[in-house]
Chain A
Amino acid sequence: MRRIINRRPGRGGIVFWGALPFLGAAALYAVASALRLAENPNDKLLPPLSAMVATVARLAFTPDARTGDYLMWADTVASLHRLGLGLGVATAAALVIGIAMGLIPYVRAGLSPFVAILSMVPPMAVLPVLFIVFGLDELSKVVLIVVGVTPFLIRDLAMRTGELPAEQIVKAQTLGGSTWQIVLRVVLPQMLPRLVDAVRLSLGPAWLFLISAEAIAATEGLGYRIFLVRRYLAMDVILPYVAWITVLAFVSDYLLRLFNARCFPWLKAGKGSA
C-alpha cells in the first residue's frame, strides 16, 4: 500500500472528485427540501427546484407587470454597470499610483504611509459618509467599490513594481531609456498581467461592497432584489440570484485569466524552464 500522499487521481478521477461536493450539496438540498415539503407543502424556506425554475422564468423571461422590464436582466445590467465602473476606476487609479510608488522613491516616500493607513479604513464604515456626501444614487455605490478596492490594488502593484530586479531598471537606463520610456516599455508591460491578477483577487470584495450598497439604497440591482424579497421569505428568488451572482463572478474571473494568457504570451514562456 503506497502512502496516500503519493497516490494521484487520473483524468476521470479528477472530474469525479471535483464533481462530488457539488452533487453532495445538491442531493443534501433535495432531500432536506423534500422532507420539509412533505411536512408542510407551503414551506418557503427550502423551495423545490421546480419552484425556483418557475420563478427564474418569471423574472428573466416575462416582462414585469408594473414596469415592463425583464427584472433579472435589468438587475444584472444595473449591478454589472456599477461593478464595472467601480473596478475600472480603481484599476486605472491603481495603475498610475501603484507604478509611480513602486518606481519613484519620492512618490513612495510621500504616499506609502498614507496608502498603508488608508487601506486599513473599513470601507463599510465609511458607507454612511459616502451616502451623505455623494447622495443615495449611483455615484455612492461606485465610490464604495473604488474606496474598498483601490488601496489593495495600489499596494499590490507598488510591491510588484518594487520587486522588479534592479538590474532590469539599470540595464534600461544604460540603453538610454528615460523614466517615461522605462515605465512605458519595461515596467508597464510587465505589470499589466500582475494588475489583472490583482483585479481577479479583488472581484470578491468588489461584489461584497456592491451588494451591501445596493441592499441599503437602490431601486434596482441584484443585491437590491435579494434584500427586497427577503421580507417575503422568497427563497425561490434569493437562491437563484445568489447562484447567478456566483456565475457572473466566476465568468469574469475566467475571462480575466483568459485575457492574461492571450495578451501576455511571455508569461507562459517563463513556466517550465528557468
Chain B
Amino acid sequence: MSHVSVHGLWKEYPGQVVLERVDLDIPSGEFCALVGPSGCGKTTFLRMLLGQERPTRGGILLDGRPLVAEPGPDRGVVFQRYSVFPHLTVLENVILGREFAGSRFLGRLFGARRRAAEEEAKGILAAVGLGDHLRKYPAELSGGMQQRLAIAQALILKPKILLLDEPFGALDAGTKAQMYELLLRLWSERKMTVFMVTHDLKEGFTLATRVLAFDKVRVDPTDPGAYGARITYDLLLTGKTAVRERLAATAGSSRETENRLETPVATH
C-alpha cells in the first residue's frame, strides 16, 4: 500500500514562495504526471516527496503516517542524470541496494548471499533489457540504457513509491517510446505509485493515470516571488477509453514478463 496524501503544503525560500496551499490525495498504485512551466515548483514538490527538502508548512502522509524527512528505501528515484554510480558495473549498481541492507559495516555481500543478490539483479536487468551488459560500466552505455539501469537499480528494493525527475528528458524520440513501454509494464507489474515530473505535456498524458498541472494562480508583476504555484488541474484519466485500453494492454503484456521477473526472486 502506498497512499499519499498532502495537506496544506507550503514551500517558501527567503523572498520567494514556491508552492502554496497544495492539497492532494493520491490512492495507491496511481501513475501521476507532474506538469507545468519551468520554475513552477513541480521538481520542488518531488523533492519534498523524496525527503530531500522539507515543506515550510503542512505535511505529507504516506499511508497515514508522516513522511520520513530524508530519502529512504521506501521511495525509489530516477533523475534525469547522475542516477547511477560510474565506478560500479551494471550488475554492481543494481545489487548495491541489497548490499546496503545485508551488510551494515562493509556494505558488501560475499559468497552465497552475493550470488542470490546477483541472481535477483539479473532478473530485473533482463526485464529492463540490460541482461547482456552486466559487466559494463555506465559510461559505456547509451543514455537510454543508463536510465534503464537507474530504474532497475531503484526497483530492486521494491519501493512503494517511484519518483521520476524528467527521466527521459535527455533521450531521443525513439528511445523515449521504448522507455514508455518499459515503464508502463514495470508499473503495472509492481503496483507502485509513480510520480513523474515532466515538461512534456504529451508524455504526461501518454503515461499517466492522473495529470497534476502546477501553475501560479496569482501573479504580482512587481514582486514575482510573492505568490507560489498551486495545483491548477488534477485530471483523473482512468475514465478515458484510450487510457483504459492501454491499461488493459499493459496488464496483459506484463503477465508474459512476470515469469521472467519472478522466477529469480523466488529462488532467493
Contacts and interface: CB of A to CB of B under 8 A. Distances in A.
Interface of A: 165, 167-168, 170-178, 180-181, 184-186, 189-190, 264-266, 269-271, 273-274
A174 B79 CA distance: 12
B139 A270 contact: yes
B79 A171 contact: yes
B73 A175 contact: yes
A184 B106 CA distance: 7
A269 B100 contact: no
A186 B85 contact: yes
Contacts of A177: 96, 100, 107
A174 B76 contact: yes
A165 B140 CA distance: 19
Interface string B83-95: 1111110000000
Given A181-B104, A185-B108, A176 B83 contact: no
A171 B76 CA distance: 8
Contacts of B52: 170
Contacts of B88: 266
B79 A175 contact: no
A184 B79 contact: no
9 contacts: A168-B85, A171-B77, A171-B83, A172-B85, A174-B72, A174-B73, A177-B100, A266-B86, A266-B139
B82 interface: yes
A167 B96 CA distance: 16
Given A174-B72, A175-B96, A266-B137, A185 B107 contact: yes
Given A165-B82, A170-B52, A189-B87, A176 B77 contact: no
For chain B, give the interface size range: 35 or more
Contact of B139 (A165, A168, A186, A269): A269
B50 interface: yes
A190 B87 contact: yes
Contacts of B105: 180
A265 B101 CA distance: 27
Contacts of B123: none
B200 interface: no
A184 to B, nearest CB: 5
> Of residues B72, B84, B86, which shows the largest number of chain A Cβ atoms within 10 Å of its Cβ?
B86
Contacts of A167: 79, 81-83
Contacts of A274: 139, 143
Nearest to A264: B87
B245 interface: no
B159 to A, nearest CB: 7
A72 B266 CA distance: 67
Report, nearest first, the 8 A-B pairs whose CB atoms are least far apart.
Answer: A165-B82, A181-B107, A173-B71, A176-B73, A269-B137, A175-B97, A167-B82, A270-B139
